[in-house]
Amino acid sequence: MGIKEDASANQKKVQSDLAGATVAGEQDANLAENSLLNKLLRSELVNCTSDLEVLRQDPSSPLYSVKSFDALNLKPEILKGVYLMGFNAPSKIQETALPSLLAEPPQNMIAQSQSGTGKTAAFVLTMLSRVNTSLNHPQCLCVVPTFELALQIGHVVEQMSKCMTSLRIMYSVKGGHSVSRGQLIDAHIVIGTPGTTLDWSTKLKVFDLKKIRVFVLDEADIMMDIQGLRDQSIRLQRRLSKDNCQMLLFSATYNSPIMQFAQAVVPNPLVIRLKREEESLHNIKQYFIRCANLQEKFHALSNIYGAISIGQSMIFCHTRNTANWLAERMVKQGHAVGILHGELSVGERAVAIQRFRSAKEKVLITTNVSARGIDVAQVTIVVNFDLPVNKKGEAGCETYLHRIGRTGRFGNRGLAINMVDGPRSLATLQSIESHFGRCIQELDPNDIDQVEALEE
Ligand SMILES: Nc1ncnc2c1ncn2[C@@H]1O[C@H](COP(=O)(O)OP(=O)(O)OP(=O)(O)O)[C@@H](O)[C@H]1O
């Protein structure tokens, strides 16, 4: 069988994966975390299974969950948009979160589930359900760490609102829409990065934060990691109406620092947490290849790309120089390659992502956080040409998770290949293995049978 599976089979698979069995020891760890969270949030745990935990202020109120989009009482034009996108049934995070997200009175929420499980659609549906297009001012605000993510979310909003009339979106990102001081904008939904959004609302005063009815903070784990973004997000949130704004925070990872940040941004939340992502990587096959140097890494990559049919792939390098070097060589071999790194202008980055998304280029070589959260369903292989390390040179386990999460989206099967070029990177790989409690198998790129078996 090829790496791709048909959509409905995937959907069933993701549902059953998310409802998987308890991993030994996990419940203890969860209980310890839960008691911390209880303290943090002063709320009660009302539902704790191996795959789903919900904390809420009022434990007596039931948690509804739906098995179909029809059951959500969405406006017909929104429901039509959902089906036009090919979504037949809600994913686990959607079925659990959406009834509360859409309920009256609006409820604040912190939601965590692994990459690629459908969080974006959950909050986009919330924004679309609450927006009133007859009012000509921003009512929903979504902040994300990067320009690329803002565009990606805007794209989902556009698709989902296809059957709605006159919905307007604006992007508060550097290099996005230009606005002039005091000129009130008439978009209904603003999507942007925290800094530019703060400029728009506080310095340029082009919209009023007090009129925002839904505030979404996505990719909270990255926001929290970057001090500027964290502080700007908090400053934005403080200017929102405490009584009339539904505040939502989404994250792919979950730990107590994230919860502390989340608590600062989202008061009195319902907390929904799906199974820890570490245990949910089993739809992604992970391998490593031993190489002596850069040339050997390239040789190994060529063998793989020559032997198996690859949909689209992302290759992560540590530096721009390596990325450029690799791109040059792959182009010489006839691959259509795009490149994405922080030195490109925002416009160039947007073009690179768009070309990759529309499959004009099947390989995207990238270095950095710009690639974070990019959702291209056809990505079947992620290659860590260089393994991720943090500033101290330690294994970047979170980064690893996010990188390989670019494949295996929405329960699809995916492949992750890690290049190891010496004792240091072998140690990094071992740290990643032990962090996730998962063995990463060795692959011999010269063993053609083994390489071809990757497709099975
Ligand atoms: N109910 C659904 N049915 C079918 N496909 C869906 C559904 N919900 C989402 N998807 C698809 O699954 C993919 C991943 O969804 P999405 O980008 O919302 O995940 P995410 O949890 O926000 O990921 P990340 O944490 O990486 O941002 C997208 O291509 C999206 O179109």
For 121-169, the pLDDT digits (tens) are 999 999 999 999 999 999 999 999 988 899 999 999 999 999 998 899 9
What is residue 371's predicted lDDT score, i.e. its pLDDT? 61
Q: Which fold has domain 278-455?
A: Rossmann fold (3.40.50)
Pocket probe for ligand 1: among 117, 281, 399, the residue whose CB has the most ligand atoms within 8 Å is: 117
DSSP state of 281: G
**Token pair belonging to 233:** 């997000």
Least confident of 159-163, 247-251, 449-453: 449-453
Domain boundaries, the chain: 4-275, 278-455
* Spatial distance between the Cα atoms of 75 and 272, rounded to a whole number of angstroms: 25
The minimum-distance atom of ligand 1 relative to the CA of 69 is: 1
Segment holding 415, helix H or strand E? strand 414-420
* Ligand 1 centre distance from Cα of residue 376 (Å): 10
Ligand 1: list residues with CB < 6 Å. 11, 87, 90-91, 94, 115-121, 252, 373, 375, 377, 405, 409-410
- pLDDT tens profile 186-211: 999 999 999 999 999 999 999 999 99
Mean pLDDT of 60-80: 79
* Ligand 1 centre distance from Cα of residue 218 (Å): 13
CA–CA–CA angle 301, 407, 102 (5° rounding):
165
Segment holding 110, helix H or strand E? strand 109-112
* Spatial distance between the Cα atoms of 414 and 316, rounded to a whole number of angstroms: 16
Pocket probe for ligand 1: among 155, 375, 406, the residue whose CB has the most ligand atoms within 8 Å is: 375
**Token pair belonging to 447:** 């063993």
Q: How confident is the model at residue 53 (pLDDT cuts 50, 70, 90)?
A: low
* Spatial distance between the Cα atoms of 323 and 317, rounded to a whole number of angstroms: 6
73 against 245, higher pLDDT: 245
* Spatial distance between the Cα atoms of 135 and 120, rounded to a whole number of angstroms: 24
Q: Which CATH class is domain 4-275?
A: alpha beta
ipTM for this prediction: 0.97
Nearest CA to ligand 1 atom 2: 87
Pocket probe for ligand 1: among 15, 65, 88, 119, the residue whose CB has the most ligand atoms within 8 Å is: 119
* Ligand 1 centre distance from Cα of residue 422 (Å): 37
Q: How confident is the model at residue 339 (pLDDT cuts 50, 70, 90)?
A: very high
Nearest CA to ligand 1 atom 23: 116
Q: With b meaning 16 or more CB within 10 Å and e meaning fewer, what string describes 148-157?
A: bbbbbbbebb
The minimum-distance atom of ligand 1 relative to the CA of 118 is: 18
What is residue 256's predicted lDDT score, i.e. its pLDDT? 80
The minimum-distance atom of ligand 1 relative to the CA of 406 is: 26
- pLDDT tens profile 368-387: 655 666 777 788 899 999 99
* Spatial distance between the Cα atoms of 108 and 411, rounded to a whole number of angstroms: 28
Residue 66 has pLDDT above 80, yes or no: no
* Ligand 1 centre distance from Cα of residue 119 (Å): 6
> Do the first three CATH levels of 4-275 and 278-455 match, i.e. the same topology?
yes
- pLDDT tens profile 256-278: 888 889 988 999 898 888 765 44
Nearest CA to 372 out of 354, 351, 353, 355 is that of 353
* Ligand 1 centre distance from Cα of residue 444 (Å): 33
* Ligand 1 centre distance from Cα of residue 441 (Å): 28
* Ligand 1 centre distance from Cα of residue 94 (Å): 10
The minimum-distance atom of ligand 1 relative to the CA of 410 is: 12
Which residues does residue 270 pair with via DSSP β-bridges, in sequence order? 109
The minimum-distance atom of ligand 1 relative to the CA of 156 is: 31
Report pTM: 0.69
What is residue 28's predicted lDDT score, i.e. its pLDDT? 33
What is residue 167's predicted lDDT score, i.e. its pLDDT? 96
* Spatial distance between the Cα atoms of 186 and 169, rounded to a whole number of angstroms: 9
The minimum-distance atom of ligand 1 relative to the CA of 377 is: 29
